[in-house]
Homo-oligomer: A and B are copies of this chain.
Amino acid sequence: MPLTRVHNLSISLDGFATGEPQSAEAPFGHAGERLHEWMFATRFWDDTGAQGIDDAFAQRHGQGIGAEIMGANKFGPPGWQDDLDWKGWWGPNPPFHSPTFVLTHRPRPPMEMEGGTTFYFLDAPPAEALAAAFEAADGLDVRIGGGATVVRDFVAAGLVDMMHVVQVPIVLGRGVRLWDGLEGTEDDYDIEAVSSPSGVTHLTFTRKATVPNP
């Protein structure tokens, strides 16, 4: 049974997955790159990076994944829908290497990129988007790629089987919170916390066997 997974979702101590304001120059707002420095230091990101616990978690991002779903705010800065030449932040060869569904109220035709990534634009609620992604994933798992709003929507809808959250020891004060609306999430998941020598703490949420997949 293929799974719906979240990986490498980095948040601050106060639960923000991005700062503000988000723009073309500052995709994570005033957070800058601080939420992701732990990842840049891994072999997953850089050929000379470290291969310890942070890398072990980070590497799972692509393992067994057949498709991704992301929110409009991950695909581009505010207003990208008005720019017909915008093809995402990632250049000609995006790091998804699979069908990638962008949730937006203003869909456009699919874009085939290098390296196996094709962007599909979808105006659909979580369950419907997930059905399309599983269809495209051809028996593999589906990753919910973020941002926080999209992850929160899928978790609230009971659609996420496992979620890997990385808590970074900074206090952002403002931005987009992951936890809003997720009161009682611990009832549905086994939660494991493990701190890394880098200073971040990896939180793994595994859906309890007793919680039915809707």
Contacts and interface: CB of A to CB of B under 8 A. Distances in A.
Interface stretch (A56-64, A100-108, A140-148, A180-188): A180-188
B203 A169 contact: yes
Contact of A193 (B173, B174, B184, B199): B199
A interface bracket (residues with beta carbon within 8 Å of B): 20 to 34
- A-side interface mostly: loop
Interface in A8-57: 13-15
A211 to B, nearest CB: 15
A182 B179 CA distance: 18
Given A15-B14, A15-B15, A181 B173 contact: yes
A61 B194 CA distance: 24
A61 B13 CA distance: 23
A86 B200 CA distance: 43
A136 interface: no
**Chain B CB within 10 A, most for which of A174, A181, A186, A192:** A186
A199 to B, nearest CB: 6
Interface in A115-171: 167, 169-171
A171 B184 contact: yes
B195 A199 contact: no
Interface of A: 13-15, 167, 169-174, 177, 179-186, 191-195, 199-201, 203
Given A13-B203, A170-B186, A171-B179, 20 more contacts: A14-B15, A14-B177, A14-B179, A167-B167, A167-B193, A169-B186, A169-B203, A171-B182, A171-B183, A172-B183, A173-B179, A173-B182, A173-B183, A191-B199, A192-B199, A193-B199, A193-B200, A194-B195, A195-B195, A201-B201
